[in-house]
Every structure is written in C-alpha cells, then in structure tokens.
Amino acid sequence: MKWMRFRVRTNEESEDIIISYLEDIGLEGAQIEDNAPLSAADKEQMFIDAPELEPDEKDNGIEAGAAYLNFFLEIDDDNMLTVELQDENGEYIKVKKTPEEIESKIKEQLDELRTFSDIGDGTISISVTEDIDWINNWKQYFHKFYIDDVLVIPSWEKETTEDDKKASMVLHIDPGTAFGTGMHETTQLCIRMLRKYVTKDTELLDVGTGSGVLSILALMFGAKHAVGTDLDKCAVPAVKENMENNGIAEDKFEMMIGNIIDDKSVQDAVGYDKYDIVVANILANVLVPLTPVILGQLKKGGIYITSGIINTKEEEVKKAHLDAGLEILEIHHQGDWVSITSRKN
C-alpha cells in the first residue's frame, strides 16, 4: 500500500492549530518532526535504541524552533486520494481528490491562519511513501502516570502496584486520534486550577476539548455539567469513549464542533452568561482572540482558566486578559509553560 505525504514546514508553536485546521479538509492525524526539548517524564515514556544517546540530542537536521507536519493519504489505483468531508446535512462522506486539489486546499487553510497567527514558513512538499502502521504505534509510548494524587491510566494497562491502589482518583483515558492525555505540563496546570475552583454547582465550558481530559476530571471533581467545543471532529468519539471508561453519564457532558471565536452559531449554541468556569488549554495565538469573545459565555464572577502558553508568550496573553477587563487571580509555571487564571467582575 502506498501513501502520499503532504509535508508542511511551520514552527513548534503552530503545530496544534495547523493540525486542527487541516482536519477540516480531511487530513486526519499528523506525524510531527521538531526539536522541542523532551522533559524527563517524556524520556521515561520513550524507547531508545541507543541508550547512550538522549532523545533530544539526536541531530535530525531541523533547526531550533522549526517543525514539519506530515499528513498521509492512501493512493488508490487511479492515483486519487480519498478524504472524509462533511456534507450540507452534516454527514461525513468519502470524497476523491487529486493531489493538486489537496495541495490547493492546504494552501487555502494556511493562508487563512496567516491572517491571525504567525505560522512560519508554511511551504508544502509532496512525496510518496510505503505503508506505515502509525495509527497504533503511539500506544507503546503512553503508560500510566500520576498528576499529583490522580492516577491516569490507558485501557491497555492495569492498576497493579500498591501506589496505584492509594491514588485518590483514577482517570481512564485513551487519547486515540484526539489530543490530550493529561501528561503535558499545560494540561496539568489546568487540572490543578479546576480542582481548586470547581464546586458542585459548576457549569463548565471547555474550549478545545480534545479527548475530554479536563471536562471529565472536572466532573469527577464534582462539577454539575460540562460543555466542550473543538475544531476536530475526532474529539466526539474520543470524548464519548473516555466518558464511558470513567462512568460519566451522557447528560453530564455535551460536545459541539466548531470555532467559537468567529462562528456566531457556535456561540449561540454554547450560550451566554451561563458558565461558572471556562477552561481553554490552547495556543497563545488562539487565546488572544478567544479571550474577549469568551466574556460573553462567562457569568459575572466566573473563572477563566487559560493554559497552553509557552513562557515567551506570557505577557501577550496576560495583556489579553487585562484588556478584556478580567481580574488576574493566579499565574503558575511548570517547565516552560504558563497558566493564567482570571475572574470576570
């Protein structure tokens, strides 16, 4: 089986948002190449063929700050590529496209992103590669771990140690093709803030839900109800599966697909002045335009938790909070990442 690879040159900060945007044109899943440094926890999760060579010391020929995103589509006998796209009724259908059509669509999405975000070079290269089983290979790198006293564990592992049995709470999570395991520093920063501010009456809005880690844990912490929004349609089955794995009732968590920043229909569906907490673990370049919009969804006195902020962008996101009239309550750091928590007065 042969696959066509579309390779996009960008920067490390724009990886997630480009992947999300290209989902809209049927490019599902990406292989990421960059030089982002690995934390000690990252290294513990990896298998290294040469033990004397640390993962972040390998020379992969990619300069600091740059990144490449690789998207794969199967080539059929007519040299056509098949993608799943949403029709006018909201149903997903398989559509055949030429490589030139796919490349043109990628360029359109990148040009749109450039209007509000620095995505770097944005050049596209195309090549053909042989069959790769990337869909399941990632599982070998994801093992159970702790966030403070919460045990996070995938379905293919079991609670086996005495420490496992002492955990105050167990989160069963399978990221699948959606983002989010809870392992990343930005997610952990959000989790600690949720644990602090969630009450039994909390109505939560989770912008950029991914696999549902934050909403599911908020409900486990005692929140009354959660609504999630995401650009990626893969979030819907991922969230559903993770809800079932953690015993979360269907009426506790509602998912919506769409861009809350500029889509009025999504804003209307989410609702106004109704959320005690809004949490957004996204990129700084998205948090800046999101912040003034999200004020409409927050109740007076509501808490706004933001993360996904690399430390070089801290002042930029802090300014967005202040410019929107929010009162900054807490700023926390973990590794190179920052969370900013504010209140609507």
Count Cβ atoms within 10 A of the Cβ of residue 263 and give its class: 0-12 exposed, 13-18 middle, 19 or more buried: middle
Is 208 annotated as contributing to ligand binding?
yes
H or E stretch including 156?
A: none
Helices 284-294, 314-323: crossing angle, 10 deg rounding: 10
Tokens for 143, please give them.
Answer: 């093992």
* 187 marked as binding residue: yes
108-119 as b/e: b if 16+ CB within 10 A: ebbeebeeebeb
* CA 141, chain centre distance (Å): 18
Q: Are 106 and 22 in contact (CB under 8 A)?
A: yes
Total residue count of the chain as it appears in this document: 345
**Biggest CA pair distance of the chain:** 61
List residues bridging with 32 in a β-sheet. 69
Q: Are 38 and 46 in contact (CB under 8 A)?
A: yes
Query: Which residues sit in the known binding site for S-adenosyl-L-methionine?
Result: 187, 208, 230, 281
Query: Which residues sit in the known binding site?
Result: 187, 208, 230, 281
